[in-house]
Amino acid sequence: MTGISKERQQLADSDLLLEAAVAPLPMRGGEDLVRQLFEPLGWTVDLTPIENVGSDANGSRYCHLKLSGSAKLGNLLNHLYVLIPVMDDAKHYWVGEAEVDKLLSSGEGWLENHPAKNLIVRRYLRNRAVLTRAALERLAPETASEALPPEARVTPEEALEAPVRLNDLRLDAVVDAIRASGGTVIADLGCGEGKLLYRLVRERWVHKLFGLDPAVRELEWAAKRLKLNEFGGPPEGRVTLLHGSLTYRDSRWAEAEVAVLVEVIEHVDEDRLPLIERIVFGETAPRTVIVTTPNADYNALFPKLEVGAFRHPDHRFEWGRAEFQAWAAKIGQAYDYTAAISGIGAEDPVLGSPTQMAVFTR
């Protein structure tokens, strides 16, 4: 699976004529799904249903699978390692965060471009929403080092260091913007599993934190990450996690001096954005609001992103710089805020930075 052979490395690096048989293979999804999983990887698929074993109204649930084709042996083994559990649609042991690393390691070089990527990730991780989201974020085009412009990765120091993920740059920029605002009571709206909160809780100048999210499971992961109510965690009352939605006014975080929406608005249908705008900028109206969102202009620099496609399957829209600036101006006029717009990440002279940020103040 690693592609390493002490005695025959040249053979391990070579495409070989290979044939693999798996019997019995569960077919939860049917024969068509088996083909959708293996054929895009270049395998010729030969299926023979196993009759009278686990059969139901839809036919046999098991088959003999034979794959044939030309590939490196390590590639074949990694394909089987990931896709057999996908066809079983069940793991027979606890699935935790370590499984995300296993999936991405075995899927390196092929999973990110597989047409059934979302289904593969979801089933492999036993439909655990938090883990699935984490894996898909790491597979998103913007996290690939090759998406960085050449000038961002030519120095010897950068060649030695692990590539910096855009998400890290984004969170660094947001923390810097919060610090510059002078606010010490912060609400992370759409906090997810608490990555920003985890950074902020270590800052002495932060007095109080609120994290709001509509997903209970995400909040559970955030509590675990922050060690809430555990030894070594923050003192009681410094961090409050709230289950709720941005489409409703919520007095529980109304004392926040700074509200932050990191990669949130693009997950909302555009016709529902005015409601969130009214709640955040109009009714709660913190002194500072920080918003980050993808720069759609920059998408052309991601070599593995199809023209017109979004960076994440859950995005409802992605704005270019002109659209984002127009939206920020509209917010400023409607709710008496002034917006300062900047880019996050390596800047292309024509297309700008991969992420755009607006800091609204009043």
* Helix ranges, 89-128 (H): 97-106, 117-124
* Helix ranges, 182-293 (H): 195-200, 216-226, 273-277
Type of residue numbered 140: A
Distances from the Cα of 13 to the Cαs of 4, 8, 19, 107, in angstroms? 8, 9, 17, 17
Distance, in Å, from the CA atom of 122 to the CA atom of 29, rounded to the nearest integer, reads: 14
- For the whole prediction, is pTM greater than 0.75? no
Distance, in Å, from the CA atom of 322 to the CA atom of 24, rounded to the nearest integer, reads: 55
Kindly tell me the number of DSSP H helices and DSSP E strands found in the chain.
12, 10
Q: Which long-range contacts (CB under 8 A, 24 or more apart) does 324-328 make?
A: 324/293, 324/295, 324/356, 324/358, 328/358, 328/360
pLDDT tens digits for range 69-124: 999 999 999 999 999 999 886 666 667 778 888 898 899 889 988 999 989 998 99
Type of residue numbered 328: A
Can you name the residues that pair with 44 across neighbouring β-strands? 68
Run of H or E including 254: none
State phi, psi for 118 to the nearest 5 degrees: -60, -45
Q: Check if the beta carbon of residue 349 is closer than 8 Å to that of residue 301.
A: no
Q: Check if the beta carbon of residue 170 is closer than 8 Å to that of residue 192.
A: no
Per-residue pLDDT of the chain (362 residues; tens, 9 = 90+): 888 888 899 999 999 999 999 999 988 888 889 999 999 999 999 999 888 765 555 567 889 999 999 999 999 999 999 999 998 866 666 677 788 888 988 998 899 889 999 899 989 988 777 788 878 877 876 654 444 444 443 332 232 223 447 888 999 999 999 999 999 999 999 998 899 999 999 999 999 999 999 888 889 889 988 999 888 889 989 999 999 989 888 999 999 999 999 999 999 888 889 999 999 999 999 999 999 999 999 998 887 778 888 888 788 999 999 999 999 999 999 999 999 999 999 899 999 999 999 999 99
Buried b (16+ CB within 10 A) or exposed e, 75-90: bbbbbbbbbebbbebe
Buried b (16+ CB within 10 A) or exposed e, 203-227: eeebebbbbbbebeebbebbbeebe
pLDDT tens digits for range 289-306: 999 999 999 998 887 778
pLDDT tens digits for range 255-281: 999 999 999 999 988 888 999 999 999
Q: Check if the beta carbon of residue 279 is closer than 8 Å to that of residue 308.
A: no
> What domains are defined for the chain?
9-139 (3.30.1610.20), 166-361 (3.40.50.150)
- Helix, strand or coil, per DSSP, at residue 247: coil
